[in-house]
Amino acid sequence: MPTEVTRDVTDLESVREAARIVSTYNGSIDVLVNNATVLSPSDGVLEEVDFGQVMQTIGVNACGPLWVV
């Protein structure tokens, strides 16, 4: 039985697969630790931030936790 399941929180199918793995071995989730975040070297300087980086940050920091729970 795995004690941890690591997945990409920006990939909904990856999150669903993690849920399948946990339910196969445990039946339920007792503790969930979402430790995902994105930090860019250009954080803080708005005119230097690439739009792709903005979307990645939103995907990991905002959407990821919603998909996980």
Written as tens digits, the pLDDT of the chain (69 aa) is 566 788 888 888 988 998 888 888 888 778 877 777 776 666 667 677 788 888 888 888 888 788 777
Number of domains making up the chain: 1
What domain range includes position 29? 12-68
Q: Which two tokens stand for residue 39?
A: 């930090």
List C-alpha distances in Å: 29 to 1, 3, 9.
Answer: 13, 11, 16
Q: Tell me whether residue 55 is in a domain.
A: yes
Q: Tell me whether residue 58 is in a domain.
A: yes
- Predicted confidence (pLDDT) per residue in 36-51, tens digit: 777 666 666 767 778 8
Residue 13 is predicted with a pLDDT of: 92
Q: Which two tokens stand for residue 62?
A: 């905002």
* pTM for the full predicted model: 0.60
How many whole angstroms separate alpha carbon 24 and alpha carbon 26? 6
